[in-house]
Amino acid sequence: MSPTIRQRRLRTTPAMRNLVRETRVHPAQLVLPVFVRDGLSEPAPVGSLPGVVQHTLDSLRREASRAVEAGLGGIMLFGVPLETDKDATGSVGERPDGILNRGIEAVRAEVGDSLVVMSDTCLDEFTDHGHCGVLDAAGGVDNDATVDAYVRLAVSQAEAGAHVVGPSGMMDGQVLAIREGLDAAGHPDVAILAYAAKYASAFFGPFREAVGSSLTGNRRAYQQDPANRREGLREAMLDLAEGADIVMVKPASHYLDVLADVATASDVPVAAYQVSGEYAMIEAAAANGWINREAAVTEAVTCIARAGADILLTYWALELADWLDAAPTTKPLRRASRRGNR
């Protein structure tokens, strides 16, 4: 007997597959992470991230303009200071003349409000020890002293022109303290993108080259254990309770279960960061001819969206926008509605 239900009927042609596609990625969902480095006269390639560079202020402006032209939703800035400017507390991060704040000012001057300008609100790029916070006498990261530093950092970034600040250090209470600090400083409209579930991942390696990290040791005492799924949702719910405007899961591809959990529970937009190691692996495999680069990139990003990401941070954002623009149809993401059980 022939089966009465034939799923293959909806897979017969490209037009049919496009018609019934459940998940679609749009350029406006994409955020481009960029690095701006002090003291450069021209962009410097990042060896472990093919196609990614550390920008000068001038090339950063051009990249921001390209992002607007491509229809991207946002740009996330990371600052790379001079080695001589690093200290134990990362104080250069909050200085108005620090490279990150100058980068924010440059991008806002170039594109205004045509692009959502986001900034990394963390100390790891700016400390001489490479940790995400202020160290205590025993050499561990002091949670509360670090949160105080994050508030100063966030306020300085808001004053430089950031639309969104992104606390990524995984300190307890950081979102609430930053919200109160921004409001008290007269920046109630600056949003907080909380790195809510950030894992102590092996896939961050190339990023550390990109920011010139001085890290010795590891960050397992404050970033999450990759073995823990429920903890990721709990972290996100705590950030929601503290007033996060957007919550994020990082990394993305290897944490789709956590991303799906957070997306189901969250009543604010959910972001996911396709991190440097995820990018580097696909680039390396494609360079060796083992996989089709465009197909692999598109599939990986689509899967992140399918798991529940409304916003995707990816180093391929500009290329993806070109590919999506060239596709027969480009529609915003559609997926099943989520429960709002906050």
Residues marked as catalytic: 198, 250
Distance in angstroms (rounded) separating the CA atoms of residues 331 and 310: 13
Contact 154, 183 (CB under 8 A): no
Q: Long-range contacts made by residues 43-46, C-beta under 8 angstroms, separation at least 24?
A: 46/206, 46/209, 46/210
User: What distance in Å separates the CA atoms of residue 314 and residue 301, rounded to the nearest whole number?
Assistant: 8
Closest CA to 111 of 54, 61, 71: 61
Instruction: Give the separation between CA 204 and CA 21, rounded to whole angstroms.
Output: 32
Cα separation, 17 vs 1, whole angstroms: 27
Give the residue carrying structure tokens 């609430």: 176
Phi first, then psi: what are they for 43, rounded to 5°? -55, 145
| Beta bridge pairs of residue 312 | 30, 272
Q: How far is CA 259 from the centre of its chain?
A: 14
Contacts of 13 (CB under 8 A, 6+ apart): none
Helix (H) or strand (E) holding 250: strand 246-250
